[in-house]
């Protein structure tokens, strides 16, 4: 099938400004959305867009398409407008992201599932412990990212005390922050929805949006004012405790979302 | 600005030097021959150092060798006695651009540098030209460096949130009497009248934090408006991912990441330090200029720090290693060539990190016990060098090597 070819003029200065590093050999010049003007970049073993190489700030031309871990993601400033696949987000899956020039934004809207849990086999006991947890990578919140946590629990429908709790934890330091919990009777299918936002920009501290006003999702005194540094891996932990050993209390499902505002 | 790096400076290892205040006489032919090998040199000059032409002989020499040069500046504080900063003291006093307690005393973040903090927030008064401290300082800096062939500026102490601790309990402004307001910067009783509204605000104040970051963004904008060719490096102790900082700076300087008690490497974990290092590379415009600074002082730990930095793509410097020092055997430009593996975000196994390059591999054992690494590529050998611990003896490595605790190795193909 014939394709329409177009020609762009590239000056010798522009070519000289490209960081070829002796590894670039142009092999194709087809102006089509599926096969943009590109060359073979031996160092990375990929075809790379020539046009992308003229983007400001770039030290290497961008790859046409790529799959990356969160930590291996490209620099967003040098990849403005590009779409990439991130593996491991959500945990165990993958997702599509777009660079707006300063950050990576979920391609399909500004909310991204970061991980799911449940149903958990672990039962609550009379000693509070971690029922299940998600490990999220550092800088996952980027700029002004917000965590949204939804969890559904089920258990014995009686008046015996039961407490379900979500904490944000630093596995390196062994600290937990912002224990958000509810106590009292838990009926079958009881839900817990939390909105947690980073409000201090320095180290991506996380604080609860909810005041200590009671009800589902309030910050207990145990939460304190301690911040959580999310520039490196941190955990979202789901914990529970029950007063009567013969009662049941389990995590049915939990979903953790990242909500990202456009810059 | 499109930044094209000299290809020779993208060969690994990549290292840099911080030679602020050394004076023109410092740059002898011997020193220059070392500096030319670096990827980055922070070579701040001072007024009286020499004429523009004299300074430029050094800067142009380094530039011709592909070395990026930066000049030091700081917005957060002003020295109390340095004659070269007298205009800063005069302007900030006259315009109300100093940070003070609600009771009027000056405040500062440290008692180590004979300095007191500025107030760069947009709530302060403007001068006759509509400038607040970020714009005034930006103009002053551009004037001072006009005509010098600098590659860029390094802004020190880019705090993303207020962090005052001391107040001036002496007689009058600029006294050297530092009294702590509390045990540390996190106590909520700290009192700084940041918004100049008579309300005591501690270091957790969200409004002040945001205005602080906006002030740094305003400084960078002023500098770029005056000279778009300057690369701006920020010395942050965050990864620059706050909204106001994200991809604001061309590069970051991560001071004390390793080799200090407070840096993430020792205070949290090597993995957290690496994740921090990686995060910093995603929130700047030109991550290849990111400078990772260590402060260790033994052959083994310096080797480990260099190898740890080699797991990413940044430049390594050590505050204990000047260009006149005996440099580690591994500080040879291009010794390892170019990376074969992408930057590493996790150890290869246990406490051992490894990255392959075209001319060899780098290994870092960040753990407290020795580790034997097997399954290494064939035809590798140690460097034949003169490190004090005798590690670099040129021995052939037959598929495995035992790395002592907190040590590293650069192995080369033969």
For the segment B83-96, what is each residue's pLDDT rounded down to a tens digit? 999 999 999 999 99
| Nearest residue, CB atoms, A101 vs list B2, B188, B247 | B247
CB within 8 Å of chain A, chain B residues 163-222 = 188, 204, 206, 209-210, 213
Q: Which residues 6+ apart lie within 8 Å of B279 measured at CB?
A: A138, A139, A231, A232, B239, B241
Query: How many whole angstroms from its chain centre is CA A133?
Result: 15
If 0-12 CB within 10 Å is exposed, 13-18 middle and 19+ buried, where does residue A226 land?
A: middle
Query: How many CB pairs below 8 A link A and B?
Result: 123
Residues B239, A231: C-beta atoms closer than 8 Å: yes
The pLDDT value recorded for residue B264 is: 85
pLDDT in tens, chain A (263 residues): 444 434 344 444 554 444 444 444 443 333 333 344 455 455 555 545 544 443 333 344 444 568 999 999 999 999 998 899 999 999 899 999 999 999 999 998 888 999 999 888 888 999 989 999 999 998 888 876 777 888 787 777 777 777 777 777 888 777 776 555 554 444 333 444 444 444 333 333 333 333 222 223 333 333 334 466 778 898 988 888 888 999 888 888 888 988 887 64
Nearest chain B Cα to A42, which residue? B340
Residues A17, B4: C-beta atoms closer than 8 Å: yes
Q: Which residues 6+ apart lie within 8 Å of A34 measured at CB?
A: none
Give the other-Cβ count within 10 Å of A243's Cβ: 12
pLDDT in tens, B283-341: 999 999 999 999 999 999 999 999 999 999 999 999 999 898 899 999 999 999 999 99
pLDDT in tens, A16-67: 444 444 444 443 333 333 344 455 455 555 545 544 443 333 344 444 568 9
pLDDT over 90 at B117, yes or no: yes
The pLDDT value recorded for residue A232 is: 86
CB within 8 Å of chain A, chain B residues 233-262 = 238-239, 241-247
Instruction: Establish if B281 touches chain A: CB-CB under 8 angstroms.
Output: yes
Which run of H or E residues covers position A259?
strand A249-259
CA distance B377 to chain A (A): 20
Instruction: Establish if A22 touches chain B: CB-CB under 8 angstroms.
Output: yes
Instruction: Establish if B313 touches chain A: CB-CB under 8 angstroms.
Output: no
3-class SS of residue A114: strand
CB within 8 Å of chain B, chain A residues 192-231 = 199-204, 225, 231
Residues B272, A233: C-beta atoms closer than 8 Å: yes
Angle between helices B133-145 and B86-95 (to 10 degrees): 160
Residues A142, B275: C-beta atoms closer than 8 Å: no
Distance CA B74, CA B108 (A): 14
Tell me: cis bond preceding B186? Omega within 30 of 0 counts: no
Query: How many whole angstroms from its chain centre is CA B142?
Result: 21
Look up the pTM and report it.
0.84
Mean pLDDT (whole number) for B131-146: 96
């Amino acid at each position: 099938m014939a394709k329409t070819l177009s020609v762009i003029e590239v000056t010798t200065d522009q070519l000289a400004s490209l960081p070829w590093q002796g590894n670039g050999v142009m092999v194709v010049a087809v102006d089509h959305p599926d096969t943009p003007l590109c060359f073979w970049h031996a160092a990375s073993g990929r075809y790379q867009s020539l046009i992308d190489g003229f983007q400001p700030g770039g030290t290497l031309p961008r790859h046409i398409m790529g799959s990356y871990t969160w930590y291996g993601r490209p620099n967003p400033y040098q990849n403005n407008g590009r779409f990439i696949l991130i593996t491991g987000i959500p945990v165990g899956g993958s997702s599509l992201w777009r660079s707006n020039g300063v950050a990576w934004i979920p391609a399909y809207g500004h909310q991204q599932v970061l991980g799911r849990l449940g149903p958990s086999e672990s039962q609550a006991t009379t000693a509070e412990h971690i029922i299940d947890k998600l490990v999220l990578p550092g800088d996952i919140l980027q700029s002004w990212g917000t965590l949204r946590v939804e969890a559904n629990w089920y258990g014995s429908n009686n008046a015996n005390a039961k407490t379900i709790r979500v904490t944000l934890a630093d596995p390196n330091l062994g600290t937990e922050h912002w224990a958000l919990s509810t106590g009292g009777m838990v009926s079958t299918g009881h839900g817990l929805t939390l909105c947690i936002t980073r409000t201090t920009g320095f180290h991506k501290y996380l604080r609860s949006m909810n005041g200590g006003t009671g009800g589902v999702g309030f910050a207990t005194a145990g939460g304190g004012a301690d911040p959580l540094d999310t520039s490196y891996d941190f955990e979202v932990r789901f914990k529970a405790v029950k007063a009567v050993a013969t009662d049941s209390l389990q995590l049915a499902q939990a979903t953790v979302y990242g909500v990202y505002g456009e810059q | 600005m499109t930044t094209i790096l000299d290809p020779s400076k993208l060969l690994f290892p990549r290292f840099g030097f911080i030679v602020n205040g050394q004076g023109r006489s410092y740059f002898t032919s011997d020193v220059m021959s070392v500096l030319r090998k670096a990827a980055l040199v922070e070579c701040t000059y001072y007024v009286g150092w020499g004429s523009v032409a004299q300074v430029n002989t050094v800067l142009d020499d380094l530039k011709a060798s592909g070395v990026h040069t930066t000049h030091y500046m700081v917005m957060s504080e002003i020295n109390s006695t340095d004659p070269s900063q007298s205009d800063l003291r005069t302007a900030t006093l006259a315009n109300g651009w100093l940070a003070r307690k609600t009771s009027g005393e000056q405040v500062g973040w440290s008692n180590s540098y004979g300095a007191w903090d500025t107030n760069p927030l947009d709530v302060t008064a403007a001068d006759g030209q509509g400038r607040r401290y970020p714009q005034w300082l930006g103009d002053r800096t551009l004037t001072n460096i006009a005509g010098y062939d600098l590659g860029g500026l390094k802004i020190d102490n880019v705090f993303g949130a207020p962090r005052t601790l001391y107040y001036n309990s002496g007689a009058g402004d600029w006294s050297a009497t530092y009294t702590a307001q509390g045990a540390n910067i996190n106590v909520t009783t700290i009192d700084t009248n940041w918004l100049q509204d008579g309300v005591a605000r501690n270091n957790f104040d969200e409004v002040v934090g945001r205005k602080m970051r906006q002030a740094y963004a305003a400084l960078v904008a002023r500098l770029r408006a005056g000279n778009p060719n300057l690369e701006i490096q920020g010395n942050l102790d965050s990864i620059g991912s706050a909204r106001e900082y994200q991809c604001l700076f061309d590069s970051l300087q991560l001071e004390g990441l390793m080799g200090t008690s407070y840096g993430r490497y020792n205070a949290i974990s090597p993995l957290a330090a690496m994740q921090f290092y990686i995060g910093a590379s995603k929130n700047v415009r030109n991550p290849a200029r990111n400078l990772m600074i260590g402060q260790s002082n033994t052959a083994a730990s310096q080797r480990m720090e260099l190898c740890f930095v080699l797991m990413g793509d940044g430049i390594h410097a050590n505050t204990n290693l000047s260009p006149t020092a005996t440099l580690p055997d591994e500080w040879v430009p291009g010794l390892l060539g170019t990376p074969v593996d992408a930057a590493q975000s996790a150890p290869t196994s246990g406490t051992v990190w490894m990255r392959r390059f075209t001319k060899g591999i780098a290994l870092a054992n960040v753990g407290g016990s020795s580790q034997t690494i097997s399954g290494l590529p064939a035809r590798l050998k140690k460097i034949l060098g003169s490190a004090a611990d005798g590690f670099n003896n040129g021995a052939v490595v037959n598929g495995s090597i035992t790395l002592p605790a907190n040590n590293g190795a650069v192995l080369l193909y033969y």
